[in-house]
Structure 1
Amino acid sequence: MLLHHIYGIFAFLGAYLISFPPSCNGGNILVYPLDGSHWVNMKILLEDLHARGHSITVIRSSTSLYITEKSPLYTSITVQMDGDTDNFFDEYLKENIRAQREGASPLTFFKLTKDFLSMISQAHSLSCDILLQVFNDENMIKSLMDSQFDLVITDPALGLGVILAKYLKLPVVLNVRWITSGEGHFAIAPSPLSYIPAPGSGLTDKMNFMERVKNLFFHSVVMLQQKFMVGPNYDAICDKYIKGGCDIMSLLQEADIWLFRSDFVFDFPRPTMPNIVYIGGFQCKPAQPLPADLEEFVQSAGEHGVIIMTLGTLVNALPKEISDEIASVFAKMPQKVIWRHKGEQPSTLGNNTLIVDWMPQKDLLGHPQTKVFVAHGGTNGVQEAIYHGVPVLGIPLFFDQYDNLLRLQDRGAGKIIPLGDVNGHSFEQGLMEVLHRDSYRQNMQRLSRLHRDQPMSPMDRAIFWVEYVMRHKGAPHLRTEAYKMPWYSYYCLDVMLVLLTAVTLLLLSALAVCKFLCCRGRRKTKAKQH
């Protein structure tokens, strides 16, 4: 009887343990991140990996704004970098606003496009300088090789991590939405331009003929940017340091797992691939209590609630004249306002507005007093707004921000004010609409319910697949081999050409036979007549 009880206990424990996925404790992970808001969500992933017992090493530049050299989460490797990039995006933003306000002429459009592409190319060139320093430092390379890492996690908005992983012969996990140029899906998954909007096009998945023409044009611009402005920076490094050579696009397509920072509550439905794991909103968590002084300010708003505003990590502030107009609108509102704003304070600031250098954005979005989120449309902020069900008034600045906000606007959960149209009147009108039209909050809360209704949290999915790659030394069985095919083979143009040639030859042969028989028949008829 006792043996039966003991057997029953072991059977129960066995079933209990089997119900959990196998862990991969003690993995050794090399991380090549991107700074700014990209680091914010990468750090959240690293916190959970660290809590699981993994050892983490992060490569950072000496000019990094957010990636600290010392951290309890990771050991850092710092690469010296020259140059001041603090005002890099502020200057471009001012020029962007000025150009847009001059009018939406073709000349203005091409100037903005040229400036934007030039800025992107410069950013990639600077990042390649960092990687060159890594490769040229023999001690650093030897240390990286001797560390016996299990895999590399990298953000492919810059191509440094995938090149280093190829050099070290390590599996790759991408923490991704954007690649070196454009949206990540376009590099790995079938992307019909008839219903999948290209980055920057400002289109949805419902396009008429002229919109499809526009979509093709914007996709072509992205392809040309990758081919002639971005790719050569990385291809030169590949040719020099990777045996047999390579190109940056094929390295991205070789990645084992794509942890994709999106989901189909937010994004438009589209074809995907088995090694794309959707983790949209993985950084979102239930709101924590606010600091006492901030909680007191929020509660002082009473029934009117609070408006929060931030323009993200890349831009400190809008130009002064625009900030003054926004501040004057806020001053007239019965709501309290918390505004993340750096630099000179607006001269029209009201008593109801609290200016801060930093705000606990997630906790404020999750506070029941928060009524509207005025934001630039970064992926993190948009997904946090969806998670907490707060409608968005968007002022997109650059990159993917307009496209992100367009997805909310298309679903009735947000409203966009184009950067060139921002003034006191348009801002007040947009803010009043999002505040007082119930459909915005109702639609956003519906998206929130859809996003939360999942069998497994996005973070748990991310951790599982990182450890999966470590357990199996990669995941090549999930990766398509299409990237090894030339473009004409991918689209079966060579097959069609051979078939068309065969059909043409068959038809020509049939015509030749018919002509021969006809001529022969005529000759016989003439012979009989004679």
Structure 2
Amino acid sequence: MVRRLGFAGLLVVALLGQQTAQTANILAVFAYSFGSSYVLVKPYLQNLVQRGHQLTVISAPVSYMGDIEGVQHIRVESLKKLSKDLEEYDYETEMTSKWAEASFVADYFYNCSKLILEEPGVRSLLQNASAQFSMVILEAAHTDALYGFAKHYNASLVGISSFGGAWNIDFLAGNSAPSVYEPMSALGFSRGLSLVEKMKNLIFISEERLVERFIYLPGQIELYKRYFSFDASSLHEIRKKFSLILLNQHFSLGRVRSNVPNLVEVGGMHLSQKPEPLSAELQGFLDEAVHGAIYFSMNSDMLDKWLPPNMQKTMLNAFARLKQRVVWRTTFQTPNESNNLYVRPWHPQREILNHPNVKLYITQVGLLSIIEASYYAVPMLCIPAYFDQFKNADRLERLGMAKTLDIYALDLEEVVETIHELLNNDSYAKNAKKLSMRFTDQPMTPMETAIWWTEYVLRHNGADHMRIVEQDMSLMQYYSVDIFSVLFGRIGLTALIVIFLGYTVVTIALRTTQYHLRLSIPVVT
């Protein structure tokens, strides 16, 4: 008996020792100046703390993400000003082209990085010689200057791509087969079904590469050199050293990608967070919806001032013609609520979508909205407004669980007719249930997947073996097989032969025609 207890004691000590050995000091840096992305990362950070890791988190004010017990927070209060600047930005007037959009986004992320790096608390942390971190976690794209934290602490670099995948994320992960169908911006991009569309998309992606090189990166490089005192070449090297990137998407939601091992899909990991409960008033409003209910939200980050001026009136008139009850999330000052209309500036979205009487979700189609509606099997009326929302809406339509309307051409009759179609045609609800079943059919929850791979990187000291070898080669070496052998190999040779034969046939035909013409022309004497 004593021997058994002794063995059990040794086993417990061994397991505890193993757990202690796997814990680490982690620095998380998030420059978001809006709340929705913190909805994604906060549960992830909480789970890391629960696993015994020591976290230092640099982020926006507490109003965007509350304090996490056991975490050392460094709050960057000045990030809040960026939200106010966004409220004053005239999106419809200024965002007239891809280049204007790129300049706007580049300036925004430049300011995000700058405000983080000039924060006194951050400066003190960087100057603290005793501060050591094994891993740096941050948003993967656009705030490249912040990659300097990983080099400063000689730490593994882990990215979270809260907006899903795109060609720039593929590059950071070293993906050798990036998709030409996933741009950073969807403005002017197409499905690429025809050869002409494919060529346009290829040009579109090429333009975006130039945009990144000459608009996004220069400002980030300048900040990197100023605050970390490293040369620009080292930043380009860090951009090739991501140990892991967690993608806020999942193939079951309609976009299959060719991911390398260090690109891991964790769409829905925020669903591990216990949702906010419904108030007694809202619970009763939905419970008594005998004809069903509709949830309408353009999201808190979709600032109401950017919406078309007639949209509120059109939607109010449409709702007045429905027998379903409507829960509306908006800061608009609406007329007196009727028995069928419940308006507030904030609602517990997940619990509303989970209510059995909610039959339709009207949304701007952000990624979190897609994930939550798919999880709870709620059909969607998509009203996309900017960035990735247009391709998101297109994807959901093809999945058969949504219809889309143009936000700048909303017609009352069309809105009512579309809502009736989504409510009365059973195919949308059935397709939503199918999508929910395949999305939730996973070997581990998205959060368990995210934590497992994060700790995998820690266990294997950065897990360099997860990156493809080609990423460590020079540009010429990397493309010599993939591109030049194709262009100047069999395909190129075949093309040259076809061109030569075609030229020969045409030349012979022309000469023959000219010869016969000369024979047929009468000689004038």
Q: TM-score, normalised by structure 1?
A: 0.80
Q: Is residue 71 of structure 2 the alignment partner of residue 74 of structure 1? A: yes
Deviation at 1:128, TM superposition (A): 3.0
Q: Is residue 290 of structure 2 the alignment partner of residue 329 of structure 1? A: no
Counterpart in the other structure of 2:292: 305
Rounded to whole Å, the distance in 1 between the matches of 2:177 and 2:162 is 15
Report the CA distance shift for 1:150/1:193 in structure 2 as closer, same or farther (over 3 A). Answer: closer
Deviation at 1:487, TM superposition (A): 3.2
Q: Is residue 341 of structure 2 the alignment partner of residue 353 of structure 1? A: yes
Counterpart in the other structure of 2:224: 238
For 1:483, the aligned partner's letter is Q
Q: Report the 3-state secondary structure (helix = DSSP H, G, I; strand = E; otherwise coil) of the residue aligned with 1:173.
A: strand
Contact conserved, 1:193 with 1:215, CA < 8 A, in 2?
no
Q: Report the 3-state secondary structure (helix = DSSP H, G, I; strand = E; otherwise coil) of the residue aligned with 2:296.
A: strand
Counterpart in the other structure of 1:383: 371
* 2:451 maps to which of 451, 463, 466: 463
Report the CA distance shift for 1:486/1:26 in structure 2 as closer, same or farther (over 3 A). Answer: closer
Q: Is residue 113 of structure 2 the alignment partner of residue 125 of structure 1? A: no
Counterpart in the other structure of 1:428: 416
Rounded to whole Å, the distance in 2 between the matches of 1:454 and 1:250 is 35
* 1:32 maps to which of 13, 29, 32: 29
For 2:152, the aligned partner's letter is Y
Q: Report the 3-state secondary structure (helix = DSSP H, G, I; strand = E; otherwise coil) of the residue aligned with 1:307.
A: strand
Deviation at 1:169, TM superposition (A): 1.4
Deviation at 1:305, TM superposition (A): 1.4
* 1:207 maps to which of 163, 173, 193: 193
Deviation at 1:238, TM superposition (A): 3.4
Rounded to whole Å, the distance in 2 between the matches of 1:210 and 1:499 is 23
Contact conserved, 1:378 with 1:400, CA < 8 A, in 2?
yes
Counterpart in the other structure of 1:51: 50
Report the CA distance shift for 1:479/1:356 in structure 2 as closer, same or farther (over 3 A). Answer: same
Rounded to whole Å, the distance in 2 between the matches of 1:151 and 1:390 is 38
**Cα RMSD over matched residues?**
3.7
Rounded to whole Å, the distance in 2 between the matches of 1:181 and 1:203 is 13
Deviation at 1:160, TM superposition (A): 4.4
Report the CA distance shift for 1:192/1:465 in structure 2 as closer, same or farther (over 3 A). Answer: closer
Rounded to whole Å, the distance in 2 between the matches of 1:261 and 1:321 is 33
Contact conserved, 2:337 with 2:343, CA < 8 A, in 1?
no
Counterpart in the other structure of 1:523: none
Q: Report the 3-state secondary structure (helix = DSSP H, G, I; strand = E; otherwise coil) of the residue aligned with 2:151.
A: helix
Report the CA distance shift for 1:10/1:58 in structure 2 as closer, same or farther (over 3 A). Answer: closer
Contact conserved, 2:37 with 2:162, CA < 8 A, in 1?
no
Rounded to whole Å, the distance in 2 between the matches of 1:320 and 1:205 is 30
1:263-278 residue pairs with structure 2 within 5 A?
Answer: 263-278=250-265
Counterpart in the other structure of 1:473: 461
Superposed CA deviations along residues 301-348 of structure 1, whole A, max 9, x for unmatched, are 12x111112122322323442112112211221111111101x31348
Q: Report the 3-state secondary structure (helix = DSSP H, G, I; strand = E; otherwise coil) of the residue aligned with 2:311.
A: helix
Rounded to whole Å, the distance in 2 between the matches of 1:433 and 1:139 is 59
Rounded to whole Å, the distance in 1 between the matches of 2:488 and 2:68 is 62
* 1:147 maps to which of 109, 131, 151: 131
Q: Which runs of 5+ in 2 are unaligned?
A: 494-525
For 1:85, the aligned partner's letter is L
Deviation at 1:395, TM superposition (A): 1.2
Q: Report the 3-state secondary structure (helix = DSSP H, G, I; strand = E; otherwise coil) of the residue aligned with 2:408.
A: helix
Deviation at 1:473, TM superposition (A): 2.4
Q: Report the 3-state secondary structure (helix = DSSP H, G, I; strand = E; otherwise coil) of the residue aligned with 1:219.
A: helix
Deviation at 1:167, TM superposition (A): 2.2
More moved, 401-410 vs 386-395? 401-410
Report the CA distance shift for 1:179/1:380 in structure 2 as closer, same or farther (over 3 A). Answer: closer
Deviation at 1:236, TM superposition (A): 1.9
For 2:449, the aligned partner's letter is R
Deviation at 1:122, TM superposition (A): 1.6
Rounded to whole Å, the distance in 2 between the matches of 1:328 and 1:48 is 45
Report the CA distance shift for 1:195/1:466 in structure 2 as closer, same or farther (over 3 A). Answer: closer
Contact conserved, 1:33 with 1:154, CA < 8 A, in 2?
yes
Counterpart in the other structure of 2:82: 85
Contact conserved, 1:308 with 1:373, CA < 8 A, in 2?
yes
Deviation at 1:476, TM superposition (A): 0.8
Q: Report the 3-state secondary structure (helix = DSSP H, G, I; strand = E; otherwise coil) of the residue aligned with 1:84.
A: helix
Rounded to whole Å, the distance in 1 between the matches of 2:311 and 2:112 is 32
For 2:41, the aligned partner's letter is M
Report the CA distance shift for 1:179/1:291 in structure 2 as closer, same or farther (over 3 A). Answer: closer
Rounded to whole Å, the distance in 2 between the matches of 1:201 and 1:28 is 41
Report the CA distance shift for 1:498/1:244 in structure 2 as closer, same or farther (over 3 A). Answer: farther
* 1:220 maps to which of 196, 206, 210: 206
Rounded to whole Å, the distance in 2 between the matches of 1:299 and 1:226 is 50
Deviation at 1:373, TM superposition (A): 0.9
Deviation at 1:415, TM superposition (A): 1.6
Q: Report the 3-state secondary structure (helix = DSSP H, G, I; strand = E; otherwise coil) of the residue aligned with 1:283.
A: helix
Q: Which runs of 5+ in 1 are unaligned?
A: 100-109, 505-530
More moved, 24-33 vs 474-483? 24-33
Rounded to whole Å, the distance in 1 between the matches of 2:284 and 2:20 is 44
Superposed CA deviations along residues 92-120 of structure 1, whole A, max 9, x for unmatched, are 5x642x79xxxxxxxxxx93334322220
Deviation at 1:215, TM superposition (A): 1.3
For 1:315, the aligned partner's letter is M
For 2:436, the aligned partner's letter is S
For 1:233, the aligned partner's letter is G
Deviation at 1:287, TM superposition (A): 6.5
Q: Report the 3-state secondary structure (helix = DSSP H, G, I; strand = E; otherwise coil) of the residue aligned with 1:397.
A: coil
Rounded to whole Å, the distance in 1 between the matches of 2:397 and 2:374 is 12
Rounded to whole Å, the distance in 2 between the matches of 1:441 and 1:355 is 25
Aligned-residue sequence identity (percent) comes to: 26
Q: Report the 3-state secondary structure (helix = DSSP H, G, I; strand = E; otherwise coil) of the residue aligned with 1:258.
A: strand
Contact conserved, 1:193 with 1:212, CA < 8 A, in 2?
no
Q: Report the 3-state secondary structure (helix = DSSP H, G, I; strand = E; otherwise coil) of the residue aligned with 1:253.
A: coil
* 1:173 maps to which of 158, 167, 173: 158
For 1:331, the aligned partner's letter is A
Deviation at 1:350, TM superposition (A): 4.2
Q: Is residue 327 of structure 2 the alignment partner of residue 338 of structure 1? A: yes
Q: TM-score, normalised by structure 2?
A: 0.80
Rounded to whole Å, the distance in 2 between the matches of 1:147 and 1:462 is 26
Contact conserved, 2:167 with 2:182, CA < 8 A, in 1?
no
Deviation at 1:237, TM superposition (A): 2.9
Counterpart in the other structure of 1:512: none
